[in-house]
Amino acid sequence: MTQTKEWDTQDLKLLRSRAIRWYRRKARELPWRQTSDPYRIWVSEIMLQQTQVATVIPFFHRFLTSFPTVSALAAADEQDVLFHWSGLGYYRRARQLHAAAKLIDSQWHGLFPRSFESIQSLPGVGRYTAGAIASFAFDDRRPIVEANT
């Protein structure tokens, strides 16, 4: 029988300090870590689904050059969005990104929603992605566990 361990406050503090220390030593410099812009964080999180970091970086820069804001993405033709996504695969992500941008543009007047629940309601956004955006863009502490290395 497997025994489970209760985590006390000291255990959690130790785990947290070790995780932060590890991050400070091992963190890679990535373009989406240099911003608190929810749009840029969102685009990176969607691109990083099922795709390696090294592959995403050039696509991230090109995509944001063509669609620098949520409103610019919302106004774009879907075929143009798919063209700029070409090479990343999983085109459903691009279609959902485009649909969500249109929703943000119409429902929130082009301003990225701030609440976790509103972010998670966007097409193609699940608990992990909503948590990442809420945490990194709005300093709303949410648990997120990354497994795509």
Return the domain boundaries, the chain: 37-138
* CATH 1.10.340.30 is held by the domain 37-138: yes
pLDDT of residue 7: 77
Catalytic-role residue among 45, 78, 117, 146: 45
Rounded average pLDDT per 10-residue block, the chain, 149 residues: 75 90 90 94 96 96 98 98 97 98 97 97 95 96 72
Q: Is 117 considered catalytic here? A: no
Cβ–Cβ < 8 Å for 67, 84: yes
The whole model's pTM is what? 0.85
**C-beta separation of 107 from 11 below 8 A:** no
